[in-house]
Amino acid sequence: MKHLRVIQIGYGTVGGAVIEQILAHREQWRRQLHLDVSLVAFGGRDGAVCVDVDHGVSDEACRDGVRERREGGRPAGTTTSWDAVIYQAAAEGHTVVLDAAAGSETATHDVLALEEGAGVVLSNKAPLALPWSDPRAQVLWSQARSNGHLRYEATVGAGLPVISTLHTLLDTGDTMREITGMLSGTFGAIFSDVASGTSFASAVRTAKEAGFTEPDPRDDLSGLDVARKALILARSCGHQVDLSGIAVRSFVPDALADVSIDAFLDGLEGMNDEIAELASGATASGGVLKYVAAVNAGGEVSVGLQGVSTSTVLGALTGPENVVSFRTERYDDYPTVVSGPGAGAAVTAAGMVGDMLRLGMMLG
Ligand SMILES: NC(=O)c1ccc[n+]([C@@H]2O[C@H](COP(=O)([O-])OP(=O)(O)OC[C@H]3O[C@@H](n4cnc5c(N)ncnc54)[C@H](OP(=O)(O)O)[C@@H]3O)[C@@H](O)[C@H]2O)c1
């Protein structure tokens, strides 16, 4: 039986669901995979709690910690620095760090884990989107391959097999010609409504009310999240692109960047005419307006509005689903397509847990 120590950075929506999945399924992994997974530490910006590298923490302590945070509190227990926990666990044996935090600060912990021989699994896109000039980006990307110690399936399309499909295509010697994708459930929902005649500002309000946007819709409408995903796809193909080199269509004008959320939503009315005109232009040419990320064979990345023919997989998609289409030398006339829900706690957590298990079985 192989023993795998797991350190969970970030225990919000995704990290909390990862903890629940580990506690629910580790007995099955012992039986079927001969992998004994123990959660040795978890926590957030305050540091790591419930550290017990020798014996693992009790299931109840973990569940209580997740519940406490959801209810606005903090879990009981001493807080330790992430670095101390990583050093200790990695010295003890096989270790995987799961980064379900937000922002690039955790990149330092991820790099330390790799340097100490541990595996790293990310749903957090920001570390992988650091500029190439940042040495941490180079360490992380040097391990981001099929047999490397860094896995990041959940960063694009949540639990959908987007990154693993891409790696398989490239590992088997195929040549990428183009990747196109709708990588945001929020934009999917908004532009489906716009296609049925709703004004852009009303579509944004409806998406917010349905829970498809972040609490502040600007976090989605800036396009940054989609740009990071497109960057990750391009870098996975070996292109040394930076976020600063990507043309991104943002729906957050400077004048609305710092106003209240209500004022922002009101201010979007000013874009209604432009977007209605683009939508009717797309309809007139047999298509539909979509927010599309594209990476071409040369590594150029674009993120913005496009009229897409309704006879294509991308054009036919409605609602918040994600879709990624890989057009390669082997899959040219009929691209390989991955689609389904691209966000949500359970599916994103499952993407991370799948990566964790594969790493756990590989480390040795
Ligand atoms: N939600 C989804 O459907 C989804 C899908 C794909 C990818 N993702 C990505 O997965 C990540 C987590 O998403 P979420 O929805 O779970 O977010 P969330 O609910 O806001 O939770 C974020 C967690 O990360 C912790 N954190 C933030 N900055 C940190 C830092 N510098 N050091 C240590 N911990 C830090 C927070 O700590 P505190 O507890 O101290 O606040 C919190 O526990 C994000 O990067 C997101 O983009 C999410």
Collapsed DSSP state (helix, strand, coil) of residue 5? strand
Q: Is the CB of 75 under 6 A from ligand 1?
A: no
Secondary structure (DSSP) of 223-274 = SHHHHHHHHHHHHHTT----GGGSEE--S--GGGSSS-HHHHHHHGGGGHHH
pTM check: above 0.75 = yes
pLDDT at 76: 74
Give me the residue label for tokens 């180079």: 138
CA of 65 to the centre of ligand 1 (A): 15
The domain locations on the chain are: 2-159+345-362, 176-340
CA of 70 to the centre of ligand 1 (A): 13
**How far apart are alpha carbons 208 and 205 in whole angstroms?**
5
pLDDT tens, per residue, the chain with 364 residues: 999 999 999 999 999 999 999 999 999 999 999 999 999 899 999 999 866 655 656 788 788 888 888 888 887 777 889 999 999 999 999 999 999 999 999 999 999 999 999 999 999 999 999 999 999 999 999 999 999 999 999 999 999 999 999 999 999 999 999 999 999 999 999 999 999 999 999 999 999 998 888 889 999 999 999 999 999 999 999 999 999 999 999 999 999 999 999 999 999 999 999 999 999 999 999 999 999 999 999 999 999 999 999 999 899 988 889 999 999 999 999 999 999 999 899 999 999 999 999 999 999 8
Q: Give strand pairing partners of 121.
A: 98, 151
CATH of domain 176-340: 3.30.360.10
Q: How far is CA 333 from the centre of its chain?
A: 29
Alpha helices per DSSP H over the chain: 13-33, 59-70, 82-92, 107-115, 135-142, 162-171, 185-195, 200-209, 218-221, 224-236, 261-267, 272-284, 313-316, 345-362
Residue 65's CB is within 10 A of a number of other CB atoms, namely 25
**Alpha carbon nearest to ligand 1 atom 30, residue:** 45
Domain 2-159+345-362 belongs to what topology? Answer: Rossmann fold (3.40.50)
pLDDT at 73: 84
